[in-house]
Structure 1
Amino acid sequence: MSAVGRPLSRRIKARGWLRTESPLHVGGLEHDPSEPLPIAVDGRGRLYVPGTTLAGVLKAWCLGSGENPSAMDEVWGHESENDAGGQASRLITADALVTRTTVTDERGIPAHPLALDALEYRPSVGIDRVTGTAAPEFLYGRQVIPIGCYLQLVLSIESREDPDGDEALMGALLTALIGRQIRLGAATSKGLGLVGLLDDPLDVVVDRFDSPDGLLAVLRNDPARRRSVASLCAQLPELPARREVLDVRITWKPIAPVMVRSGADGLFVDTLPLSTRIDETHLTLVLPGSTIKGMLRTRAELIERTARGLPARAADPGEPATKHSAAFRAQLDQLTAVRVLFGAARDDVRDHQAGALRAEECLACLSIPQELWASVTGFGEETSPPEGDLSPRMPESIRDQLTDVGLERSDHVALDRWTGGAADGRLFSVLEPHNVAWEPIRLSVDLTRLGVTKAIGLALLLLVLRDLANGRITMGAATNRGFGDVDVTDISLSGGPWADQVSLTDVLAGTEVAGMSEAWTAYLNQEAS
């Protein structure tokens, strides 16, 4: 059997569900530049992940270190320069609808698509290294699909000459998806796009078209066509070399309140901590990967600028916002070691590429009922303030429930420097997290991407981790007002030069850092780019 120009003897098809383990953003059509970065929707207005997105990340995983971009052309297809050859991809991906459940109708179409009003919003802002305030023209936000949603996954490989090798490839892809090794969408270096394939329901079938019995088995829906992931993995696929990754795990606890401001005001509180959904009925607080990565990058720049005696430069106060924005981007891209570790802000620098460091989202170890949070944010019908009441008081019942989960309302006021009394219009309130524990911070560094700058990048990373362990780095918002102090109890590394998990203390005292120290010293003796 064959399609037009495509001999076909066997087809391996997998149908299952991906669950979002961190927020997900796949960009869509932008209608208003003043709105947050939008998410892709199909022609019927349903949230979805295009098949091209899925194909792209699956192919990137197959190519591994990427040293030979044409290594998988026979599977993924290729073009010919003179249009005399080439072939289409034999691995076919379908668009994946985003849903609330894994329930399907009689035609196999998801029955509960995720509504647009279930999306979350993630704000981001750049902090100028000179002024310490928000950098002009560097505020943006994006809509994200929350944790706990599902994507319908349909993959198939059309085989012709080496069907056993294609079965092994499908098994490797499914195993990688089950092991959360493949990410989707944008901002994956900031913790977004983590998905995991459910092992149930997961339907894998192998159809044979090279014999009458095989064709009849397809028509009869013979159960013997079904395979398990383990059976597909009986033979190892021939894949290019894998990427080398260093994993970092940071165990910590807050000394002072740690939070990131939400982009919305509350009904009874002016400033709310950023939250994210963890299931259908509960939320928790979150430190976005962008926040963690930003505070680490700021410290890395401080370390290198201090070592070089090289201050950051800002535009003159009277210059327009565009000049200040350009100066801020120049601050970010001036230092090579910082750039290769965290990424470049502009595409006109010499070694422009994505940063090698990834920071995962960090969740608080608390569960907030959705009804309680709705009453605090102002969406609860029972707690709506009386008409005309501009400063409603928080009911004691809500205050007690918040206290039970470790959240306290705190009122603040600015004092007039002349009268010594409260300044007009300067009274505000914050919902502060007290007595809240957090998950460990998880980082990973793509050592393959660092390439020849591997020793320099690792040296800078170890210096940043050392300062974090010594309490020199604060996290989150309002760090100049007593927030953000943390106590790091343990930092462990595994991968790269350290095959087994090892503590940061042992790493800094080990022999592996000697070469990194020499490379770092030689790098600092070079002029900054």
Structure 2
Amino acid sequence: MARKIDARYIITGTLIAESPLHVGGVNNDPMVDLTLAVNGAGDYYIPGTSLAGALRGWMEELEGDSQIISMLWGPRLGQNGRTQSDDGHASWVLIEDAVIQGDVQTELRDGVGIDRFGGSAAEYIKFDRAILPKGSKLKLQITLDRVTESRLALNDAAWVLVCQLWAGLLRSLQEGELSLGAAKTRGLGTVKLEELEVKEQLFNSRAGILALLKGESGNSSIFDLEANTPRKARPALTVTIDWEPISPLMAKAEREGIAVDMLPLVSGIGDHVAFVLPGSSIKGALRTQAERIVRTVCPAFNHAAATKPVDSKKAFLQQVEVPLIENLFGKAAKTEDKQQLGRMGALSVADCYADYEISGQQWEKVQTAKDSAELLQALKEAKLHDVQQAFHVAIDRWTGGAADQFLYSTLEPMGVQWQPIALRLNLSRLEGADLQKQGVALLLLVLRDLIQGRIPLGYGVNRGMGAIAIKSISFSVSGTNLPDDIQALHNVTLKVAPEQSQTYLTAQHLAQISSLAGLNDAWKTWIESTIPQEVAS
């Protein structure tokens, strides 16, 4: 039976990638482990199913899997592929595939797991991922139907709530609060909605049908996007870290140069490129320190890291199974009893870009320079005056001279200014006030070590590279019904003295320092509750 539609709302706009983007597809490139989705016309795109899952997930995160959301999007299927009842129906929301606009130059990012036993790359945990660069554009088109004469229809009160949900969703998209695709907590997938339009088509009146036949769909304001009324926000703790490097700092690119062996990783920003520290790299460094903290206070968790089973892949998965760390940073997916187990981490880390951009042509000259003189000229043209070629050599332990075929060079950025590091802790992924306070307490301990210079970033951190100095750390809290100890961090700024000998709160927040006692108590309670379980095991 055909649907009796009273009104249809067509939502269009342009999604701008605020960070690189990866939506996987069938692997048709033997040189790349994780390729991008390509449609039948050969264009990169985001399937409508992926968009629908992300948008529905946003609504459910704020409202729960309510009856209204099930009526709007259709009931979720059970494990047998069928609905829980006989009230199944197709979604009232139609989302078109979003095709990438224009010609884009894809990039390749390396991913690697670090063996907790040896500190080097874990065996069989090395992969690369194709990504679309920052600034990529996608056309968004969503169709929302309203039905009033059906057992599945939404009444007026429910429709008002639906409009509020869509208004909040679209405003969140406009403010860049949603992420799409893979590796969303590791720097990828942040998008921002621009050029938003909402068209209304009325089917329940003669005038509406005539207007539709004439192609005269009018603009609609049913979502009231300009209203100043507060909207629901995800409960989150946002951390902004202002910092600077105090030694050469770079992430290593997969591609090698000609005159220089190791190049710093760059990422596209429109027609330009900039040095970048991937969110995955920063998050990995923070996770390593967080694990070190937990293993220090709970020594029993060292067993997995100190024992190396025969199966290297299983060994790595065992090494990263650390309580609280998995809640904060995520749990690797694995299959047990034919069920895939895994957990997305609550902590998201954005890619961090250098402040200075250079054109793609200038960077290509740097990569293809044939000798040191040509390289120096290419760097001069790109105004990379503080980027230098450094030579390294391994020493032969027998002769004391340079080891044969172990001379290499790196292009090391010096004195480059970087944008702030952005962290976002999604507190809704930490269930319960106690777990939220424990997760925030552990994050603060990691930030303390970052201030004290214990967490270098990027490549070559054991060879004099990657040291950083923190200038300030700012906190912002969103959402409601959060513990007072976490709410007290809102608008607090930690400023670090130039000599890095002390950390102090700004004067207007000195009175709030007592709130950290509650987080400290939650951290101690977690340790005490964990140790007896270790002893018993």
TM-score (normalizing by structure 2)? 0.85
Residue 341 in structure 1 maps to residue 328 in structure 2: yes
| More displaced stretch, 185-194 vs 171-180 | 171-180
Deviations 1:35-81 (A, max 9, x none): 32011000111101100011111101111246435451111112674
Q: Matched residues in 2 for 1:128 and 1:254: separation? A: 26
Would you say the 8 A contact 2:73–2:91 is kept in 1? yes
Residue number in structure 1 paired with 2:101 = 99
Query: More deviation in 69-78 or 434-443?
Result: 69-78
Match status 1:264 vs 2:255: yes
Alignment of 1:141 with 2:125, yes or no, is no
Matches within 5 A, 1:55-454: 55-65=52-62, 67-68=64-65, 70-78=67-75, 81=83, 84-100=86-102, 114-115=103-104, 118-161=105-148, 162=156, 166-198=162-194, 200=195, 202-222=196-216, 225-227=218-220, 231=224, 243-280=234-271, 282-310=272-300, 311-313=302-304, 323-333=311-321, 335-347=322-334, 352-378=342-368, 385=370, 394-402=374-382, 404=384, 406-452=386-432, 453-454=435-436
Mapping 1:416-495, distance limit 5 Å: 416-452=396-432, 453-495=435-477
Q: Which amino acid aligns with 2:324?
A: A
- The 3-state SS of whatever aligns with 1:87 is coil
State how far apart, in whole Å, the 2-side matches of 1:165 and 1:171 are. 10
1:104 counterpart residue number: none
Partner Cα separation in structure 2 for residue 393 and residue 316 of structure 1: 50
| Matched-pair contact (CA < 8 Å) for 1:12–1:167 | no
Larger CA deviation: 243-252 vs 184-193: 243-252
SS at match of 1:353: strand
Aligned 8 A contact 1:299 1:464 in 2: yes
Query: Do the aligned residues in 2 keep the contact of 1:402 with 1:408 (CA within 8 Å)?
Result: no
Asked if the contact 1:269–1:376 (Cα under 8 Å) also holds between the matched residues in 2, the reply is no
SS of structure 1 residue aligned to 2:25: coil
Contact 2:379 2:385 in 1 (8 A): no
Question: Cα 1:230–1:157, aligned 2, differ >3 Å: closer, same or farther?
Answer: closer
Letter matched to residue 207 of structure 1? Q
Q: What is the distance in 2 between the residues matched to 1:227 and 1:402?
A: 48
The answer (yes or no) to whether the contact 1:340–1:353 under 8 Å persists in 2 is yes
RMSD: 2.7
User: 1:513 aligns to what?
Assistant: 519
1: CA distance, partners of 2:396 / 2:382: 32
**Could you tell me whether the CA contact under 8 Å between 2:171 and 2:225 is conserved in 1?**
no
**Which one-letter code corresponds to 2:345 in the other structure?**
G
Whole-angstrom distance in 2 between the partners of 1:290 and 1:218: 49
User: Displacement, 1:331?
Assistant: 0.9
Provide the rounded CA distance (Å) in 1 between the counterparts of 2:49 and 2:13.
18
Distance 1:307 1:266 in 2: 45
- Cα deviation, residue 32, structure 1: 5.8
Structure 1: how far apart are the matches of 2:131 and 2:29? 17
CA contact (8 A) 1:458 1:516 kept: no
- Once residues 527 and 493 of structure 1 are traced to their aligned partners in structure 2, the CA distance between those partners, rounded to angstroms, is 34
Residue 220 of structure 1, CA deviation: 2.5
Structure 1's 66 and 423: CA in aligned 2 closer, same or farther, altered over 3 A?
A: farther
Quick one: distance in 2 between partners of 1:231 and 1:65?
Answer: 19
Most deviating of 245-254 and 417-426: 417-426
Q: CA deviation at 1:85?
A: 2.3
1:83 CA displacement: 6.1
Instruction: Check the 8 A contact 1:126/1:134 in 2, yes or no.
Output: yes
Matched with 2:16 is 19
Instruction: Decide whether the 8 Å contact of 1:53 with 1:185 is kept in 2.
Output: yes
In structure 2, how many angstroms separate the alpha carbons of the residues matched to 1:68 and 1:230?
Answer: 21
Q: Is the 8 A contact 2:32 2:130 kept in 1?
A: no
User: Contact 1:30/1:38 (CA < 8 Å) preserved in 2?
Assistant: yes
Q: Report the AA paired with residue 374 of structure 2.
A: M
Structure 1 letter corresponding to 2:426: D
Q: Distance in 2 between matches of 1:221 and 1:275?
A: 46
Q: Tell me if the contact between 1:367 and 1:405 (Cα under 8 Å) persists in the aligned partners.
A: no
The 1:222–1:348 alpha-carbon spacing in structure 2 relative to 1, beyond 3 Å, is closer
Shift of 1:403: 5.4
SS in 1 for 2:180: coil
Q: Tell me, in whole angstroms, the C-alpha distance in 2 between the residues paired with 1:430 and 1:514.
A: 43
- C-alpha displacement at 1:402, in angstroms? 4.9
Structure 1 gap ranges (5+): 101-113, 386-390
Q: What letter matches 1:498 in structure 2?
A: Q
| Structure 1 residue 405: Cα displacement | 5.1
* SS in structure 1 of the partner of residue 492 of structure 2: strand
* Separation (CA, whole Å) in 1 of partners of 2:59 and 2:84: 26
Q: Deviations 1:183-210 (Å, cap 9, x if unpaired)? A: 1101101011000011x3x332111111
Encode CA deviations 1:121-171: one digit per residue, 9 max, x unaligned: 110111112211111011111000001110010011101234655544443
In 2, the alpha carbon distance for the partners of 1:165 and 1:346 equals 36
Q: Which amino acid aligns with 1:424?
A: D
Question: In 2, distance between residues paired with 1:493 and 1:232?
Answer: 27
Moved more, 78-87 or 187-196: 78-87
State the shift of 1:339 in Å: 1.1
- Stretches of structure 2 that go unaligned for 5 or more consecutive residues are 149-155, 495-503, 506-511
1:525 positional shift? 2.5
Q: CA deviation at 1:368?
A: 1.5
What is the identity, as a one-letter code, of the residue corresponding to 2:142?
Answer: L
Following the alignment from structure 2 to structure 1, what is the Cα–Cα distance between the partners of residues 374 and 533? 58
Conserved 8 A contact 1:267-1:392 = no
Task: Kindly provide the amino acid, as one letter, of the partner of residue 217 in structure 1.
Answer: A
- The letter for the 1-side match of 2:436 is K
Contact 2:166–2:223 (8 Å) recurs in 1: no
2:500 maps to which residue? Answer: none
* Structure 1 stretch displaced more, 75-84 or 168-177: 75-84
Alpha-carbon spacing, 1:290–1:395, altered in 2? closer, same or farther (3 Å):
closer
Q: CA deviation at 1:462?
A: 1.3
Amino acid at match of 1:90: W
Contact 2:33–2:128 (Cα < 8 Å) also in 1: yes
> How many aligned positions are there?
491
CA distance in 2, matches of 1:67, 1:209: 31
